């Protein structure tokens, strides 16, 4: 792929700047997407075009190791690539990336998300403004792929609660793929916690237990840009639900697992009610929700099945299958 000469000069400048200056940000990404896999290039180009003067590196743990990997190695010297085994889980890959990160702030995002033009600058503003006991700051998530009802359904099923407006200032939590952590927040955190599951469910409770807080800003905007096929999204919804339910209770806690499996039968109407409440409360995306409803109904049925299987049979290999 040919690159304009101006981009080559900018690439060299970025590499030099990152070597001579203390890095503001390390951006951790697990490269796992089997569909829309070139979206990572769009994300890297958006980072190069950022407003402001924030220095950064991108640390990608890559379990695909394909032609896109070779392209990144050739054209993006600001990226540190780590080879991961094909069966590596996303949390384990993020932990790998954290192990080599050099920035004073650690951003976690995904390989199909494209930042807004002032993303890093707004992270820095929020981190510098947040109280000292804030472990992490986050923002909102917007839909970057909106051609069809299926596109809206795959987005709203996961992120109806994360679209703007989100709480401004101290918040109960932040999106797990639009978040920046203070480096010192990881002090004393056992690596097994980082590798066990997604950090919003394993790491964030540790912060709450330490009386550390989260800070949220609507100016930190990330665009979710993955175009799913129906088959892939249904599979992903199932494995994520099975993983979530499978780790909630000890395997020996048969009574609670059984009760939770029965209660999962009520999930479809409850989840649809929650999604509708999110778009109504935010006064946004009601027409898109109605358009997406048939797909959303299907996804909530799959969600319930995944949780029932997880409660009764455990997580299996679900975490390694999530992308």
**pLDDT for res 6:** 43
Phi-psi region of 188 (alpha: psi -120 to 50; beta: other; left: phi over 0): left
Tens place of pLDDT per residue across the chain (323 aa)? 444 444 444 444 445 444 545 899 999 999 999 999 999 999 999 999 999 999 999 999 999 999 999 999 999 998 999 999 999 999 999 999 999 999 999 999 999 999 999 999 999 999 999 999 999 999 999 999 999 999 999 999 999 999 999 999 999 999 999 999 999 999 999 999 999 989 999 999 999 999 999 999 999 999 999 999 999 999 999 999 999 999 999 999 999 999 999 999 999 999 999 999 999 999 999 999 999 999 999 999 999 999 999 999 999 999 999 99
pLDDT value for 8: 46
Q: What is the pLDDT of residue 145?
A: 96
Domains (range + CATH), the chain: 5-138+164-220 (3.90.550.10), 230-321 (no CATH)
Alpha carbon distance 141, 223 (integer Å): 6
Say which DSSP state 104 is in.
Answer: S
Residue with tokens 């085994």: 85
Please give the sequence-ordered ranges of beta strands (E in DSSP) within 97-165, or none if there are none.
Answer: 105-108, 113-115, 134-143
This prediction has a pTM of 0.90
Residue among 75, 235, 89, 219 at smallest CA distance from 154 = 235
Residue 22 has a pLDDT of 80
Structure tokens at 321: 């299958």
pLDDT of residue 40: 97
Residues 6+ apart with CB under 8 A from 296: 153, 156, 157, 272, 275, 289
- At 21 the pLDDT is 59
């Amino acid at each position: 792929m040919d690159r304009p000469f101006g981009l080559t000069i900018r690439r060299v400048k970025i590499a030099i700047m990152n070597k001579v200056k203390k890095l503001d940000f390390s951006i951790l990404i697990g490269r796992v997407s089997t569909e829309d896999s070139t979206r990572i290039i769009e994300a890297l180009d958006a980072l190069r075009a950022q407003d402001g003067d924030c220095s950064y590196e991108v640390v990608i743990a890559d379990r695909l190791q394909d032609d896109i990997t070779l392209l990144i190695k050739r054209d993006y010297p600001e990226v540190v690539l780590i080879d991961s085994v094909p069966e590596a889980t996303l949390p384990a890959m993020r932990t790998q990336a954290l192990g080599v990160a050099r920035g004073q702030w650690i951003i976690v995002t995904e390989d199909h998300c494209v930042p807004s033009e002032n993303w890093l600058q707004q992270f820095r503003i929020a981190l510098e403004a947040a109280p000292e006991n804030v472990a992490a700051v986050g923002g909102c998530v917007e839909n970057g792929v909106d051609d069809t009802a299926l596109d809206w359904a795959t987005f709203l099923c996961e992120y109806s609660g994360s679209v703007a407006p989100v709480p401004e200032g101290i918040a109960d939590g932040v999106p797990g793929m639009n978040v920046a952590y203070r480096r010192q927040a990881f002090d004393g955190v056992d690596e097994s916690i980082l590798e066990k599951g997604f950090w919003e469910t394993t790491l964030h409770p540790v912060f709450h237990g330490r009386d550390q807080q989260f800070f949220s800003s609507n100016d930190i905007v990330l665009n979710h840009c993955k175009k799913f096929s129906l088959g892939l999204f249904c599979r992903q919804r199932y494995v994520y639900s099975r993983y979530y339910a499978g780790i909630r209770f000890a395997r020996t806690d048969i009574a609670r697992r059984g009760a939770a499996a029965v209660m999962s039968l009520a999930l479809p109407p409850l989840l649809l009610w929650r999604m509708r409440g999110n778009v109504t409360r935010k006064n946004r995306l009601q027409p898109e929700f109605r358009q997406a409803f048939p797909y959303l109904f299907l996804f909530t049925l799959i969600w319930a099945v995944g949780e029932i299987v997880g409660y009764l049979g455990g997580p299996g290999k679900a975490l390694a299958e999530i992308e």
